[in-house]
Structures are given as structure tokens and as C-alpha cells.
Structure 1
Amino acid sequence: MTASASLSVQVPVLETQRLILREPRLADFDAYADFAASPRAGFVGGPMDRMQAWSRFAASTGHWILRGFGLWTIEDKATGAVAGRAGLIAHEGWPETELGWQIHDGFEGRGYAHEAAMAARSHACHVMGLPPMISLIAPANTRSRRLAERMGAVIERESELLGQPCLIYRHPAEAA
């Protein structure tokens, strides 16, 4: 591919009452790098330096081209601020498609993760036709465990991911 050639994919935009789930943009990187450097990223491979964060950000953006789905950027409608990411993950070595979420500092406790994850799950089921997904959650990640349970997911089994213990939560099928 030459420098002038480009790949593109149409990332669907999902809207909820308070959020816009949209494509990742280069302008989102600083907010992601701040998240990745913080203790909040401890359950997703962090904290990490800016170069490691760039690799993760670029890989998750490329996920849309390689898989046709990925993590949406969560934008707060009221302020336009980047509040986190949520969506579908199927990295090499994953047991199956995962529904995941990350909320940035200052946006927790508002129900944004729930609102975004439910929108992503509904899109995956009703538009993409995916079967009930899983969420891979570290046993100590009590906030994500509570969110998965609030969404109706149940622990299917204990497993290991990238050498770390994890719980595989199974999400329920959504009604048509």
C-alpha cells in the first residue's frame, strides 16, 4: 500500500439518552493515554506508558478494520468530553467475542458504562446478529462484576486470560 492509499470502515454511531458511541479519533488519544497511565487501567493491562497506550489505542482502532467491530469512543452528549470506551472485542486468543467497557476518571458513578454497554450489546444482537456474548472480568474487579450482573450476565466459568485469572460472564440473549 502506498502512502496515499487508505483503508476505511464505516463505524456505526449509536446514541443513547446521554451518550454518543462513535468511532475512535486521533483527538481521543490523550484521554485514553491518561486513562491507560492511571490505576483505573489496572484490570486492562495497565498502568502503561504513553507508547504502550499508543499501541493499544492503535490496535483497538484497527480492530474495526480487521474484525468489522470494536470499541466505540463514549462521548458525553452534554459536554462532548470523552468518557471512555465500550464495545466488542475479539483479540487473537480470546475464547469468543467479548463485550467490554472502560470508563475514564471523572465519569464513573453516573451509569455511563451501563448505558454504553447496553447500547453496544443491543447493536451486536439486533443489528449484527451475534449470539449472547461474554465479558472477561478479573475476580477482583468488583465494579465491572457488579455492572455485568446488573446487565443480567452470570458467571459461566472461571478461566485464565493472558496468564491472569478471570471470570467469564455470559450475557443473556436479548428479546427481539
Structure 2
Amino acid sequence: MDASRNRIETERLILRPPEAQDFEPWAAFAADAEVMRHMGGAQPRSSAWRGFMTMAGAWQMQGFAMFSVIDKSSGKWIGRLGPWMPDGWPGSEVGWGIAREYWGKGLAREGSIAAMDWSFETLGWSEVIHTISSDNTASKALAKRLGSNYRGIGHLPPPIDMDIEIWGQTRAEWQARKWAGERE
């Protein structure tokens, strides 16, 4: 795997594949009931480990998965976001999850813009979706700010096994917004 191909820097963030030292903050993130409220609920450490290893394994086997989000100013792991498409998923997703202490700073938007660019340009995806719990108003607002539109109700496969809203856009829609200067 070409590490430079899989590293993105934005003004405030570094997006890179998960590394072993990311597990402790990942486990704390997964244990936070408020952070995980719309993502299946708080997880015990053993479940967080499985999720972490699943993400690392997807990078190894598929060449993509969600990035670890690193705060440039502190070097801290602050979340995970990016492309995600496990078997049975309703489409090619760019999703996000940021640690609670970093909410409200525009970091999910900043990272998601970079991850969507990367997914369209590097992975060649023709569309991106976001699977969002129907009561997650903050993520729906972010999806709208990214230019995505509500596409209807979908279902996530087991073990998640829940109905969600699907938001998304095509590569052409994303590029049209980029050239119109609407994303910055």
C-alpha cells in the first residue's frame, strides 16, 4: 500500500489509515454513549477492537476505508471518517464520526470534503452516499452542507441491521459544486 497515496492533509487535519497507536482513543470514542448514539450505541472495548481491526483490514484488503482523523495542532486522534463500503452496504459511503470535544468546529465538514475528493479522484467512485440515522439532525445538516440530497430510506445489513436515511450525490454534482466555488 502506497502510504503517500493514502494520506491527506487539510488546513487543520491529517487523514491517514489507522495505526496501532490509534486504538486507545478509538476505544474511548466508541465507549462514549453520546458520540455513538446514532451509530449503534456505546461499545465495550472488545467490540471497539473488532471495529478498529475491521477498518485496518479493509485498508489492507480493499485499499480504502475510513481514515483516522488527526488534529494537526496537537497530533491527537480525534475521529474517523472517509470511504466505507462493506459487503451488503447500500452504496459507496463517505461517513464521519468525530470525538465529542471536537464537535462544532467544522472538522467533520473539512475532513469529509477532502475524503469525498479522494473517493471520487483516487477510487474513481461515481457517487457517494451518507447513511444517517433519521434522528441525527447534525449529520443531516452536514450532508446538506456537502451538497448531498435526501434519497430515501435504506437498510444497513447485520450486525447493524437498522433502517437509515440515505443522502448522496454523484461525482458530476460534486464537481459542479467544486467549480462553482460552493464547497470552500
Q: Structure 2: which 5+ runs fail to align?
A: 180-184
Partner of 2:164: 166
1:88 and 1:30 map into 2 onto residues whose CA distance is 22
- The reply on whether 1:101 has 2:89 as its aligned counterpart is no
> Normalization by structure 1: what TM-score?
0.90
1:61 to 56, 59, 83: 56
Judge which range, 110-119 or 92-101, deviates more: 92-101
- Which structure 1 residue ranges, 5 or more long, are not aligned? 1-8
Q: Could you say which residue in structure 1 is the equivalent of 2:137?
A: 142
Equivalent of residue 126 in structure 2, options 127, 131, 140: 131
The C-alpha deviation readout for 1:42-82, integer Å capped at 9, x for no partner, is 22223010000000000011111221110111111111111
**How many residues were matched structurally?**
168
Match of 1:35 in 2: 29
> Any conservation in 1 of the 2:90–2:154 contact (CA below 8 Å)?
no
| Contact 2:92/2:127 (<8 A) preserved | no
Cα deviation, 1:125-171, whole Å, max 9, x if unaligned, reads: 12222112111111011111111111010111112224322001012
1:52 to 43, 47, 64: 47
Matched, 1:91 2:89: no
The runs of at least 4 consecutive aligned structure 1 residues that moved more than 3 Å come to: none
1:19 to 13, 30, 38: 13
Q: Report the aligned-residue RMSD.
A: 1.3
Q: Is the 8 A contact 1:23 1:73 kept in 2?
A: yes
Cα distance between partner residues in 1 of 2:69 and 2:58: 17
The percentage of counterpart residues that share the same residue type is: 33
